[in-house]
Structure 1
Amino acid sequence: MRTLNLGILAHVDAGKTSLTERLLFDTGTIDKLGSVDTGSTQTDSLELERQRGITIAAAVVSFTLGDLVVNLIDTPGHPDFIAEVERILQLLDAAVVVVSAVEGVQAQTRVLVRALRRLGVPFVFFINKIDRLGARYSEIVGDIASQLSVRPVAMSAVTNAGGRHAKVEGVDMMQEPHFSAFCDALAVEDETLLSDFILAPESLTIERLRAALADQVAKCLLHPAFCGTAMTGIGITDLIAAIETLLPGRNPDPLGPVEGKIFKIERGWGGEKLAYLNLTSGRVAMRDYLELPAGAAKVATMQVFSEGRLEKVNQVSAGQIAKIGGLANARIGNEVGAGRNTTVGFHFAPPTLETRVRPRRPSDISALWLALQQLSEQDPLINLRINGDTSEMFVSLYGEVQKEIIQATLQNDFALDVAFEESMTICAERLVGTGSGLEIIFKEPNPFLATIGLRVDPRPEDAGNSFALEVDVGQMPVSFYRAVEETVFETLKAGIYGWQVIDCHVAMTAARHSSPSSTAADFRKLTPLVLATALSSAHTVVCEPVDRFLLEVPAAALTATLTLLAQCGASPKGQLISGGIARLEGTITSAMVQTVQRQLAGLSSGAGVLESSFDHYARKSGSTASRPRSGADPFDRADYLQRTR
């Protein structure tokens, strides 16, 4: 059978989880419709999700449409949990992007659509809540086209929008004005269809139009826009038909080599680690050994998502998503199989906040450390950081809501009462120029049995960090080079001022060992000293995160709002006044977003709306900010050698 990994994505409160529930109900997967308000939905299974009415962790449920098995993945909508969405995007064959018919395109909508387009994931839109006061359809389709730079095509006809008598019908592609609209949309990328539309329109049958539409959807050229109401089921039938016929599934090979990816980690009732595996090729049976980056691991338990349930099985086949126990060394992002690729690319911005966590009872320090380690397994972008003796623990955050969730999780799941210090903005360091460092074996002051030469060069903005060998690889064991590379990336997490060094290329320019005395440990211990020398000679500058914002206020509050933005150092890039509403766009440092947010309500009598998302790093003005370093400091040679030798 064909399979389809389908993501449901949206800005928070657009109705994503309600749509998931409705799809399960209308396909006969569940016999009772749950509600987000009552905490009875299938996919919001965590107690905190039920209490708060928001999705925190991605959830999987499977159902069948004809010959198509759909693995439906409900994802968080709140921007604080974008890391969870990050892991899901890399699994998807297609997606449904949910947009509120009242609020329209929102900040998270833009972020998600940009990521889907970068990954080449086909997607359709579902404009939800068409029965709510103020709901619009045609206007929202127009906004999608203008604000998201995509080509939507309207698939629904709406009457009485914005009321309980709202009615939605699928458009007839063969009737005007829809026929011309579809042909115009399809002809942009299909010259043959354009020619036939002009010269022989009778040749354009419904079958041909549907085939052309499915082809362009699969190629991410067009994005059908359906509408309805998930709570009542209006318009859902057409969306289900589109999932079955328009979105591209795959035909996985159960006889091929074992290949897959681990995209989620959680703990069972007994504290055992459970890994979510998306198996794309081959079969895995109980007691099989799976090849992971950390070594082979034996499958101890196995469950699969099937027809809305989680079932115990003895074998998993390609196209299924399984929850597997026994993989003690599994990590999120691990590729499974002999041909695995351990490199994981990220498509969203990193967290921009950091906070210190401390137990209210000092005796809980060890328990807190263990609990945070488990949470960082489930969300690696928490970036758990400690000082040398673990008395101070720091976690990275996307926002204050995430802090509240972590605090509640520690209380509910680990019985730990903790306090968070005020969040601070996470800065980064960029190279000013090129620098180099060299330590030679058997030559003072190098105490290690290794020769390492490193050169650092700045890379273009957002290019990321990279490493290359500019030496004869055959002169040393491969494990020594690997030790240097791994340590380079680890050392770049804390530069001269304690912040992560970004957009930096490191080249290894010299290498020598003493056989058989030298070990990989010599190269691991020496690399930070050499890299610190190279970074110091190149010099770095501290850069702070800058957000792109979209702000709407009543026109009467525009002057006061512009004054506030100026005081906060914002840079407005565009301004539009329409219908008594002023719309402002621009950039502002992430550190000032909360200041604007707090004062906006008073300036606009509660009518102002601010949306923001990370845009780039820019050189920080004023005094240079530094961050306390955890562990040995390679920029202080005496301290480093004392701690490492």
Structure 2
Amino acid sequence: MRTLNLGILAHVDAGKTSLTERLLFDTGAIDRLGSVDSGNTQTDSLELERQRGITIAASVVSFRLGDLVVNLIDTPGHPDFIAEVERVLQSLDAAVVVVSAVEGVQAQTRVLVRALRRLGVPFLFFVNKIDRLGARPAEVVEEIASQLSVRPVIMSAAVEAGSRHARAEPNDFAQEPHFSALSEALAANDEALLDDYVLAPERLTVERLRKALATQLAEGLLHPVYCGIAMTGVGVPGLITAIETLLPAKAPAPDAPVEGRIFKIERGWGGEKLAFLNLTSGTVAMRDYLVLPGGAAKVTSIQLFDQGRLEKVDQVTAGRIAKVGGLAHARIGDWIGVGGKRAGAFHFAPPTLETLVRPRRPSDNTALWLALQQLAEQDPFINLRTSDDASEMFVSLYGEVQKEVIEATLSADFGLEAHFEQSTVICVERPLGTGTGIEILFREPNPFLATVGLRIEPRPAAAGNSFALEVDVGQMPASFYRAVEEAVAETLKAGLFGWQVIDCHVAMTAARQTSPASTAVDFRRLTPLVLAEALSSAGTVVCEPIDSFRLEAPASVLTAIHTLLAKSGASTTDSIIEGGVARLAGTIASANVQGVQRQLPGLTSGAGVLENSFDHYAPIAGTQPSRPRLGANPFDRANYLRSLR
């Protein structure tokens, strides 16, 4: 049996969920076709998804194509829910990127394709909605090539696009000019094929070209493009054939040691934790003990995604995706198995907004805290921050739609009415130089039975944080070093000005214990003071998030648009006027994006469109903004030690 984890990715409203529904129907996994408008699709199962007509949470369904089992994962298209896509990407074998034939390549399309290429996930395109008024499939293929820096290979042609008679005709690669076009595209990456194309064309067959296409697709060199109409099924049979014959499926080993990854957490009807497990190797049965980073746990229930349904089973084998109960300490990104792998680096930017959440009834404060903790468990990017007494609770956001969804979820699922303050931008801090700190055992003013020395230094932008030991690791128990590393990570969440410290390297330069009196707690409590000293020595600069933007508006209002962007501090790097339409690109501070979005409709009579996405962090000149601390402050020694007592 072969298996394929297939992601369906797109910008919002490109037709992603409709395509998922059509694939399930056409392959016989479901016998009734649902629709987004009717709110009865297989994958949009949340009440909020049905009300809003958008995908909020990633959903899994499964269907079969001969000996191939396809685990189909439908992901959100709205940028406010990019964290859901982040959790899915590392479990994918391949992806279908859906692009609207009317809107073409959009902001989220670019973000998704960049992430797929970074991860090395093979993908193909489906140009949807070729029947819509204004459909321009040929131009969209050109946009795919120019804006996404990929090499598309047209696999089907749209006929009578933009009308209700639109249809998709598959290219016959046994005939010209399709045979030569495919041969030339493949020959650019295959010298043997190029030689035969030039010197011995009789050696080239359609079968050989298809095998070469599958190979180059798997290597990310070429990307087939199909077109059609997901709602009616036009062009979908060709896509199904490509899924079965072109995309790189796997032959997993059910008898090998157990390995897999948890990519999603949700709660059952009784509040029990359910982990979405992508099992890559071995077999997991009821009552088995699984090894996770948080410790071993016993499997109490297994629900398998199969043929469009979720079924209770006694075991799950490699290559399948299941909901597993009993893993109380499981976290998103955990790997199961003796290998104990951890989650890889994030491939999307973190949230850039934050909001203060308060219960409308003060008596609900504890209930709200518990509810937000549960939501943060399901979405770690929410990054719940609370004061010691939980009187203040902050959540991180990608956008205002996500805020509305959290508010509605609290009301519908927990019966809580909450008030969200106006969103503010989340800044970060970067070290300005190298700094050191040390506290020595039995030497004042160190009150702990431990010696800790640390050095912090800057790393390149977007490099992330790292930690290393520059001491003899054999002189103390491993738990002591682990306590230091964990305390460093926690302390870096609030630097000199209260913002998270990023792009830095921390090295432990000194360590000593007194046996048997010293404990891991001594090292855990001393580390924040030492790191605060090192950070103060190095100094930090506060950096604000900067977005890249693309703006499209009538050329007649270009002067007014330039004035608006200038007042907002935007920097324009590209400006094109074509067919009475002005297209601008550049960068703008994330804090100023909403102001532009509010004024744009009035300036352009509703014709202006602004797309934006996080690009980088830039230092703030002048007075450095600060963020209130919610916990113990190691930069104030007396306050910190008092909080521990």
Letter of the 1:175 counterpart: Q
1:397 corresponds to? 397
Which whole-Å deviations, capped at 9, do the CAs of 1:116-158 have from their partners, x for residues lacking one?
A: 0000000000000000001011111111000000111111112
Name the residue aligned to 1:363.
363
Match of 2:462 in 1: 462
Match of 2:275 in 1: 275
Deviation at 1:77, TM superposition (A): 0.3
CA deviation after TM superposition for structure 1 residue 584, in Å: 0.5
Between the aligned partners of 1:484 and 1:115, the Cα distance in structure 2 is 33
Q: Residue 289 of structure 2 aligns with which residue?
A: 289
Which runs of no fewer than 5 residues in structure 1 stay unpaired? none
Q: How far 1:356 sits from its partner (Å)?
A: 0.4
Q: Give the root-mean-square deviation of aligned CA atoms.
A: 0.7
The amino acid of 2:34's aligned partner reads G
Distance of 1:613 and 1:286 partners within structure 2: 44
TM-score, normalisation: structure 1: 0.99
Once residues 423 and 537 of structure 1 are traced to their aligned partners in structure 2, the CA distance between those partners, rounded to angstroms, is 32
Task: Provide the residue aligned with 2:22 in structure 1.
Answer: 22
| Corresponding residue of 1:306 | 306
Matches within 5 A, 1:27-426: 27-426=27-426
Question: C-alpha deviations, 1:14-63, integer Å up to 9, x for none?
Answer: 00000000000000111110000010000000000000000000000001
Greater mean deviation of Cα atoms: 600-609 or 110-119: 600-609
Q: Deviations over 1:158-210 (max 9, x none)?
A: 21000100011110112222122111110110011111111121211010000
Q: What displacement does 1:578 show? A: 0.5
Letter in 1 for 2:405: I
CA-CA distance at 1:13 after TM superposition: 0.3
Letter in 1 for 2:170: G
Give 2:245's aligned amino acid: T
* Paired letter, 2:194: L
Letter in 2 for 1:261: R
Q: Per-residue deviation at 1:539?
A: 0.3
CA deviations 1:503-538 (Å, max 9, x no partner) are 000011100000000000000000000000000000
1:498 maps to which residue?
498
Q: Distance in 1 between matches of 2:399 and 2:339?
A: 37
Structure 2: gaps spanning 5 or more residues: none
Write the letter of the residue equivalent to 1:419. H
Which residue does the alignment assign to 1:570?
Answer: 570
* One-letter amino acid of the structure 2 residue matched with residue 69 of structure 1: V
Task: State the partner residue of 2:482.
Answer: 482
Residue 344 of structure 1: how far off its partner (Å): 3.1
Using the alignment, how far apart are the partners of 2:209 and 2:71 within structure 1?
27
Query: Kindly, what percent of the aligned residue pairs are identical?
Result: 75
Query: Which amino acid in structure 2 is aligned with residue 230 of structure 1?
Result: A
User: Quick one: which amino acid aligns to residue 263 of structure 1?
Assistant: F
Q: Which amino acid aligns with 1:593?
A: V
Q: How far is 1:644 from its partner? A: 1.3
Mapped partners of 2:340, 2:256: distance in 1: 14
Q: Give the letter aligned to residue 557 of structure 1.
A: V
Q: What does residue 609 of structure 1 align with?
A: 609
Question: How many pairs align?
Answer: 645
Which residue type is aligned with residue 264 of structure 1? K
Deviation string 1:363-390 (CA, Å, 9 cap, x unpaired) is 0000000000100010000000011211
CA distance in 2 between counterparts of 1:410 and 1:318 reads 36
2:326 alignment partner AA: G
| Cα offsets for 1:74-106 (capped at 9, x unmatched) | 000000000000000000000000000000000
What is the alpha-carbon distance in structure 1 between the residues aligned to residue 622 and residue 169 of structure 2? 59
Distance in 2, matches of 1:174 and 1:575, equals 43
Within 1, Cα distance between the matches of 2:631 and 2:558?
49
Per the TM alignment, residue 111 of structure 1 is displaced from its structure 2 partner at its CA by: 0.2
Letter in 1 for 2:85: V
TM-score (norm 2): 0.99
What amino acid sits opposite 1:45 in the alignment?
A: S
Partner of 1:588: 588
Q: Please tell me the residue identity of whatever aligns with 1:296.
A: A
SS in 1 for 2:147: helix
Is the partner of 1:631 in helix, strand or coil?
A: coil
In the TM superposition, residue 486 of structure 1 has moved relative to its aligned partner by 1.0
Give the secondary structure class of the aligned counterpart of 1:87: helix
Q: Within 2, Cα distance between the matches of 1:202 and 1:228?
A: 33
How far does residue 284 in structure 1 lie from its aligned partner after superposition?
Answer: 0.7
- Describe how 1:515-526 pairs up with structure 2 within 5 A: 515-526=515-526
CA distance in 2, matches of 1:376, 1:570: 33
- Distance (whole Å) between structure 2 residues aligned to residue 562 and residue 112 of structure 1: 29
Partner SS, residue 600 of structure 2: helix
| Shift in Å, 1:272 | 0.9
> Is 1:641 matched with 2:641?
yes
For 1:32 and 1:620, the matched residues in 2 are separated by 56
Amino acid at match of 2:553: V
Letter matched to residue 367 of structure 1: A
2:457 aligned counterpart, secondary structure: strand
The answer to whether the aligner puts 1:5 opposite 2:5 as a matched pair is: yes
Amino acid aligned to 1:275: A
Aligned counterparts of 2:561 and 2:118: Cα–Cα separation in 1: 34
Q: Which letter does structure 1 place at the counterpart of 2:166? A: A
What is aligned with 2:619? Answer: 619
Q: Which amino acid aligns with 1:420?
A: F
**In structure 1, distance between residues paired with 2:346 and 2:205:** 43
SS of structure 2 residue aligned to 1:394: strand
The Cα of 1:457 is off from its aligned counterpart by 0.5
1: CA distance, partners of 2:342 / 2:482? 14
d(CA) in 2 for partners of 1:531, 1:8: 44
User: Which region of structure 1 is more displaced relative to structure 2, 359-368 or 200-209?
Assistant: 200-209
Amino acid at match of 1:2: R
- Secondary structure of 2:395's counterpart equals strand
Q: CA deviation at 1:623?
A: 2.4
Structure 2: distance between partners of 1:107 and 1:438: 47
* Mean CA deviation greater in 619-628 or 119-128: 619-628
Deviation at 1:401, TM superposition (A): 0.2
1:361 alignment partner AA: R
Q: Which amino acid aligns with 1:283?
A: T
Whole-angstrom CA distance in 2 between matches of 1:389 and 1:68: 53
1:293-323, Cα deviation, whole Å (9 max, x unpaired): 1111111111100111101101111011110
Matched, 1:509 2:509: yes
- The Cα shift of 1:622 comes to 3.9
Alignment of 1:551-562 (within 5 A): 551-562=551-562
Matched residues in 2 for 1:438 and 1:644: separation?
20
Equivalent-residue separation in structure 2 for 1:509 and 1:285 (angstroms) = 46
State the AA in 2 paired with 1:228. G
What letter is aligned with 1:444? E
